[in-house]
Amino acid sequence: QLHLQESGPGLVKPSETLSLTCSVSGESITSADSHWGWVRQPPGQGLEWIGSVAYSGYTYYSPSLKSRITISADASKNQFSLKVRSVTAADTAVYYCAREYSSAPAYWGQGTLVTVSS
Amino acid sequence: QSALTQPASVSGSPGQSITISCTGTGNDIGAYKYVSWYQQYPGRVPKLIIYEVNNRPSGVSNRFSGSKSGNTASLTISGLQAEDEADYYCSSHAKRGTDHLVFGGGTKVTVL
């Protein structure tokens, strides 16, 4: 059974880099045609797609966040990661990792709240 | 401001049918079959209920159905039940230079 779990600091200071990791069990992140993505949700607001990494290592990014984010994969650990640079309070959100099928986040992690504050 | 436009709220009585619209452009909904819908209860993880416009994942009630016409997608909930009270989000594959996904702003469904 597929399981995804986010991990990383719950508090990040403004202007610093937010780093999260998603650990995957039940499927290899290099399985054919698989895509692994990140979605966030600020408190009380809607969902925002951040980006994804394909089984090949190719990455797809939200145009609005592209200049500040990096998504990468570590096949040896069956994990993929997110980095958001130069964070502000607007980056405060619950961050979810997900397995995408047909351009749809289908299996989600439980989410982790990241607060940007000094 | 979300890329896809949804009504902020929709309501209906038990047993009724309601429809939630999701309006995009020719660069997203109008161009691809990859339209999805999600249900989210407060404080819970979103759940995929429709993918590729009108397909339901295993275990999702057949009271949920999806459709698309032009740049607008729709989610219909038939036989509305109290448990359907939740937030609903649409998403679509999009391409403006590069491939990416976009979400709607979400619709709060209230069962009267």
Task: Give the integer Cα–Cα distance in Å for B33 and B47.
Answer: 19
Express each pLDDT in B18-73 by its tens digit: 999 999 999 999 999 999 999 999 999 999 999 999 999 999 999 999 999 999 99
> How confident is the model over A75-117, as pLDDT tens digits?
999 999 999 999 999 999 999 999 999 999 999 999 999 999 9
Residue in the block written with tokens 């999600």: B38
Model confidence at B108, pLDDT cuts 50, 70, 90, reads very high
Residue of B48, B53, B93 to mutate when probing chain A, most A C-beta within 10 A? B48
8-state DSSP, B1: -
pLDDT score for B42: 96
| Residues, chain A | 118
Mutate to test the interface with A, among B96, B101, B107 (most CBs of A within 10 A): B101
> pLDDT value at position B99?
87
Q: Which helix (H) or strand (E) holds A36?
A: strand A35-41
> How far lies A18's CA from each of A7, A8, A70, A88, in Å?
11, 8, 10, 10
The pLDDT confidence band at residue B1, using thresholds 50, 70 and 90, is low
